[in-house]
Amino acid sequence: MPAITFIHPDGKSERVETASGESAMQAATRHGLDGILAECGGNAMCATCHVYVDESWLARLPAMADDEDALLDGTASERRPASRLSCQIKVTPELDGLIVRLPERQV
Amino acid sequence: MTASGTPASTGPASIPHLDVDPFDMTFFADPYPAHQLLREAGPVVYLDKWNVYGVARYAEVHAVLNDPATFCSSRGVGLSDFKKETPWRPPSLILEADPPAHTRTRAVLSKVLSPTAMKQVRDRFAAAAEQRVDALIEMRSFDAIADLAEAYPLSIFPDALGLKPEGREHLIPYASVVFNAFGPPNELRQEAIARSAPHQAYVAEQCQRDNLAPGGFGACIHARVDDGEITATEAPLLVRSLLSAGLDTTVNGIGAAVYCLARFPDQWQRLRDDLTLARNAFEEAVRFESPVQTFFRTTTRDVELSGARIGEGEKVLMFLAAANRDPRRWDKPDSYDVTRRTSGHVGFGSGIHMCVGQLVARLEGEVMLTALARRVAKIEITGEPKRRFNNTLRGLDSLPVTITPA
Ligand code: HEM
Ligand code: FES
């Protein structure tokens, strides 16, 4: 199964195994990872599953939908070009090894 | 209340039949023993009183919520099956709809109630919470339901929607009808509908574009007509969804939070020591009390759920409140813990119909609890709390308290 590495703001990194069909957010919450809140359960409503995708991976992710784009304007930590909502990143085998950074805050 | 092991049908596993009436006054007065009975009887139960299936464990409630193609909403999320009975009012275009129709209306309300929209109302909501606490500190002894849980949302939500000042006294009674109407044809439902005409007339009128102030949530919904996202006949019905679901729910949510914090002084102290816990303290109250107790779905096909076979066209009652205290899912489910990792609770539902107003609810809860915890040292319950009875909503009618300022 593809694995994702989450890097916390303090530099500590955590590798999380994903299950098939899961989003990066679901993998993170299933492992009880701190730093992904996911208040809305993946409904693209809350923007509390915000991550910064590693530069080297950014281009390899499917493009974001309009609703994700709009939501990212409401994140608690600043939006950057690498900002994505982890609930909208479905983990496919091609994304094995994906690296994302966690923002300072989610609310 | 007894569980008899009679097999329901030819299903692969026998479905326990229970004679529990989850819409009965004695059930409402203390639902917890019955919730436990429902959970422990099996993953799927059958309630003979109303001829419906029931799920009370977290896993099954979550599964039903997340399979809208099998467990649909368009035949009503109450007991009444819209395929067999005429709904008491025109169905909701979002709550009582399935994809693809639901997808379109949901997108509109999601945008109107988005995080960006919350940033715009946040300061106003927070200032009103401070003002409410000023008034409460002045009073010292008051009813935490009327003077706090109702007064606060009433001071902000109708304005945020853009409603006229006149007639707002219809709002809570209208919501009470809506939530009673999801229940079976018991006295609560029949009486509520019988007395609903003036409230319905008020609501229908206020949903019209001309009656909604510019900049409010209501006007924002109507603005989507101009973009072609919804039609001019759909817009008023979507405004109606906010009038139905946006006020009484938060009244009961804030009421639940205050009731929890007044009953569990150690948790109140933890919140006072760390105000950043306010949002989670509210969320945990929504899990713990589950202001919205139940919703139904209707099966669109024969289905097997955790070994139980359910035929097409059957009503399935989801006990959100029981799932939120299922020991299979939650550590110490019966304790209120402001630091609990609440993520995954079903108090706001789950999946495609998960509460579209959740950000409004959390914002109100967070700013109210922050203001209270900053300025109040102690909340003491000084009289017997009185319960309010509704087929869907759980909450108090009155909660006499005395506060000590910090
Ligand atoms: C603590 C307060 C609240 C609670 C506990 C609550 C609970 C719920 C639940 C359980 C559902 C799921 C219904 C289903 O699955 O059939 C829901 C849906 C909904 N809620 Fe809330 N709610 C609250 C506040 C609000 C507010 C403030 C609004 C409006 C501003 C709102 C508007 C709605 C609407 C329109 C839906 C239908 C969504 C859909 O079907 O896609 N709610 N709510
Ligand atoms: S979990 Fe809410 S937007 Fe991703």
β-strand partners of A13: A7
Average pLDDT over residues B183-191: 98
First to last CA, chain A: 31
Of A69-78, B44-53, B210-219, B353-362, the one with minimum mean pLDDT is A69-78
Instruction: Check residue B168 and give its pLDDT.
Output: 97
Tokens (6 digits) for B72: 């649909």
Q: ∠ at Cα A30 (A25, A31), nearest 5°?
A: 100
pLDDT of residue A14: 96
Q: How far is the CA of B253 from the centre of ligand 2 (A)?
A: 22
Predicted-complex ipTM score: 0.83
Amino acid B375: pLDDT? 98
Indicate if the pLDDT at residue A65 is higher than 80.
Answer: yes
pLDDT of residue B2: 42
Q: Which of B108, B116, B329, B331 to mutate to test the interface with A (most CBs of A within 10 A)?
A: B116
- A70–B354: do the CB atoms touch at under 8 Å? no
pLDDT at residue B343, rounded to an integer:
87
Is the pLDDT at A81 greater than 50, yes or no? yes
The per-residue pLDDT for range B267-307, each reduced to its tens digit, is: 999 999 999 999 999 999 999 999 999 999 999 999 999 99
Q: What is the CATH number of domain B3-405?
A: 1.10.630.10
Q: How confident is the model at residue B13 (pLDDT cuts 50, 70, 90)?
A: low
Q: State the pLDDT at residue A43.
A: 87
Residue B116 has pLDDT above 90, yes or no: no
Q: Which residues line ligand 1 (CB under 6 A)?
A: B 73, 77, 94-95, 106, 109, 113, 241-242, 245-246, 249-250, 253, 286, 291-292, 295, 320, 347-349, 353, 355-357, 360-361
Tokens of A76: 């608690």
Asked whether the predicted pLDDT for residue A101 surpasses 80, the reply is: yes
Q: Is the pTM of this model over 0.80?
A: yes
Ligand 2 centroid to residue A71 C-alpha, Å: 9
**Arithmetic mean of pLDDT over chain B:** 96
Nearest CB to B115; choose among A38, A41, A47: A47
> Phi and psi (nearest 5°) for B182?
-70, -20
Q: How many Cβ atoms are within 10 Å of A14's Cβ, its own excluded? A: 15
Select from B104, B203, B355 the residue to mutate for testing ligand 1; criterion: most ligand atoms less than 8 Å from CB.
Answer: B355
Q: Which residues contact B332 (CB under 8 A, 6 or more apart)?
A: none
| Predicted local distance difference test score (pLDDT) of residue B8 | 46
Q: Which atom of ligand 2 is nearest to the CA of A50?
A: 4
Closest of B390, B318, B388 to residue B349, by C-alpha: B318
Q: Enter the tokens of residue B101.
A: 């129709």
Q: What is the pLDDT of residue B177?
A: 97
The CATH classification of domain A3-101, taken from the options 3.10.20.30, 3.30.479.30, 3.50.50.60, 3.20.20.10: 3.10.20.30
